[in-house]
Every structure is written in C-alpha cells, then in structure tokens.
Chains A and B, each alone.
Chain A
Amino acid sequence: MMAAATKPAMSLSETDPQLARTRFNLETASILLLDADAMSLSIMSQVLSGFGAHNMVKCENLVEVKAALAKTEFQLIILDPAPFGEEGYDFIPWLRRHEKAPNRFTSVIIASGHTQASRVSSARDSGANFVVTKPLAPITLFERIMWMAREQRPFVECKAYAGPERRFRHDGPPPGMDGRRAEDIEAMNRFASTQTLDQTDIDSIMQPQKAPR
C-alpha cells in the first residue's frame, strides 16, 4: 500500500518567490496547544496569532487538554511532551485510539526542544504527523502546517501503531534532476559520525520513505 502523500518540500526561505504567491490564514482553525512552560505556550501562540489564528486553547497539563478535547473539535494540535515524561508521550497514542472522532484524526505536531534517548522511539511511534525541534522559526512551522494541509495520508490502526500512514509515495526527483540519493547518504554518514539529530534526521525517522525503484 502506498500513501498518496509526497515528501515535504525542501526548506523555504523568506525570500522565496513561491512564498509571495502563497495564501495562508488560520483564522477559522481551532488549535490546541500543550506545553508545561507558560512562556513557550506564549511564544507558540504569538507565532500562530501572526498566522491569523485566534481560536487557541492553551493548556499547561494533560488534564486540561483532555477536558478541552471533550468540548471542542480541533483542526490542529501542537504539543511538547518532553516535560511530561512518559505521560506526555502516551498522550498521542491515547488520542489516536480512545478519543472520539473527529479529534482522534486531528493533525498533531510534536514541538520539542529535546527528546530523551529512551523516548525517541516513543516519539516516532506516537502517531504524530510531524516532529519539529525548538527553537521553532515561524517559517518552519508554516511549512509544516502547509504540508499537513496538503497531505492525503490515510490513518492506519493496528496493534503496534495508530496514526497517519508512515510510508510515502516517492515521486522521484524533480524533472531535470538526477535525484538526491547521494545527499541522503551524506546525511546518514553525518548522523553516524556526530550522533546528533537535526530536523531532517527527525523527519526521516518519523517518515521513512521507500527508496525509488
């Protein structure tokens, strides 16, 4: 089975002419934010406010989040599970399996400053649509939201996992290009030598692709 999603675009810059033509407004979206830190919540809400959002529910703990989910239908959830430990990482699987539709299918972004080594697999298998690292630049969040709005991945549910399909259709390199496999290998080598995860590495862990045939 191949999902009908495509790989996220390469990073945009704020001078990209494509950006000048893009239209974007979150004014009708209801957004749920969860972060144990009040300032981080405020930072996130200021970014989203710049994007036009004004229906935001800000929560500093999981009890508040579950209460909000029972009352409101959200189009986007952004959370940092790290400060909540195991409970934080268990939240998305709970949402995907136990919460009633439509919130169980809501797009979820994990926005985390750090992931404990023992929790990397939990984050990857949680059922989030994306993991992004703090500090979060507005353009990065914009890119991720746009990508999620365009994706058509189905949700899959089985014993080991519930969430967006993690396989992607690979449409091959852009016309006129030979592809980027050599760059992929370079990135893997870099990861092997430095043992650090940047955003690209995290994306590749979250969304493994089939190699082009």
Chain B
Amino acid sequence: MSLLIHHPDNKLALALRKAKPKSALQAIERANANLRAMAGEALAYLDGLLGELDVAFEACGAHPTDEQVLAMYKLVVRMIGIGTVAGIPALDIAARSLCDVIDGMATRNRFDRNPIKVHIDSMRLLRRSEENGISADALLAGLAAVRDRYAVTIATTPAAKP
C-alpha cells in the first residue's frame, strides 16, 4: 500500500469557531465545580469497586486462570481517576501501582497473592486515611517499592514509519 495523505477540515476547530465565545477560565472553573459536586457519589462508587475487588481477589485463589487475573486488572483500572474526584488522589496512585503489579505478573505468567493483598489492604487504609490518621505518603512509598519488584520494564518497538 502506498502512502496516502489527506487534508481533512479540522472539525473541532470549526465547532469551536461556530460557538458563542465564552471565557476559558470560567469553563475550567465550571468543570472543577462539577467534579467537586460529584465527590460523595464517587466515594460511594469507589467503595463498591473495592468490595468487588475483594471478591475478585478471593476468587483468584493461589492459582488463578488468565481470565481471573485479567478480570481483576480490568476492575482496578476502572478505579483510576475516581479517587481524585472522591477527594482521595492517593487511591488513584495505589490503583495504578496495583495495575502495574498485576500486569507484571500476567506478563511473566507468575502469580503471587502477597503484593496484591498489600495493595488492597493499603487501599482500604487510604480510603479511611482521614479517620485513621494514616500517612498516605508513607503507604504510597511502600507500595512503590512493591511495585518496582513486580512491574515490567516497558520496552517499545520503534514507531511504524508512514
């Protein structure tokens, strides 16, 4: 196949030009306010996901199938972004760290319950960090050390050349 080059209209630019001009600053403030208004709902949703994660983890046992590990990964990846809206950004960091750990295990085809359990327990503590006075920084530092032992190094192939 030879190289084809298209010069389509930038439809996004056209849409922005067509709209009544409004302040970008106010738009961002409105977006932030909308997110603040969702905090309670996001927190309740996170509690639900943490409950589902407990169930998925227990279902894995000591020798989970690839599908069980993938299901747990998909559950954790859904959490990322919700913690910040719920007012607990450390939960997003912990969830991303757990994704790295699960992905590393899946890549090496070597499952280990302990690093996952320590993440789930830490996420529970982070969820209640305001009440229990736990230092999020200390917990995250511990999780980072665990993550570094299990995550895979990203090595990419060179980009395809058009």
Which residues on A are within 8 Å of B, measured CB to CB?
1, 14, 19-20, 22-30, 36-37, 39-40, 42-43, 46-52, 73, 75-76, 82-83, 85, 101-102, 105-107, 112-114, 116-118, 120-121, 124-125, 134-136, 138-139, 141-142, 145-146, 148-152, 154-161, 165-166, 195, 197, 205, 208
Contacts and interface: CB of A to CB of B under 8 A. Distances in A.
Contacts, number: 223
- Say what secondary structure dominates the interface of chain B: helix
Interface in B93-148: 95-96, 99-100, 103-104, 106-107
Given A19-B24, A25-B21, A52-B22, A117 B31 contact: no
A75 B12 contact: yes
Contacts of B80: 113-114, 134-135
A125 B159 contact: yes
Given A22-B24, A161-B160, A208-B159, A39 B42 contact: yes
B28 interface: yes
A138 B3 contact: no
A64 B156 CA distance: 32
Contacts of B3: 156-158
18 contacts: A20-B25, A23-B22, A24-B22, A36-B78, A40-B81, A43-B82, A47-B31, A50-B31, A50-B33, A105-B11, A113-B79, A113-B80, A142-B28, A149-B16, A155-B7, A157-B3, A195-B151, A195-B154
